[in-house]
Structure 1
């Protein structure tokens, strides 16, 4: 079981590569956009909750 895991980990490390600048920036933009969307959704839920008299 441990030997199988080590073999799979070795295969992943052989295939893995460092992302280039363009790929890194694309991932950073998508991640940032996702964080903003989640924050806006949380803010809207908080506003709705405060208007309905709930305590958050």
Structure 2
């Protein structure tokens, strides 16, 4: 999932360099959503690991 957010971030940067505003904004939004989702899943699994005691 982190690779998807990185992929959309790269697409957004390339689109911003070439001046495609709509594509850059959409790709940036998707990358942000995927990154937040990845981070939340990481936090949940980290807390679950601590609660299991292993």
Q: TM-score, length-normalised on structure 2?
A: 0.62
Higher Cα Rg, which structure: 1
- How big is the shift at 1:22? 1.2
- For the residues of structure 2 that align with 1:19 and 1:48, how far apart are their CA atoms? 44
- Residue of structure 2 equivalent to 1:47: 47
Shift of 1:39: 0.4
> Gaps (5+ residues) in structure 2?
1-14
Unpaired segments ≥5 residues, structure 1: 1-16
More helix by share: 2
Higher relative contact order (CA 8 A, sep 6+): 2
CA distance in 2, matches of 1:53, 1:46: 11
Work out the number of aligned pairs and report it. 38
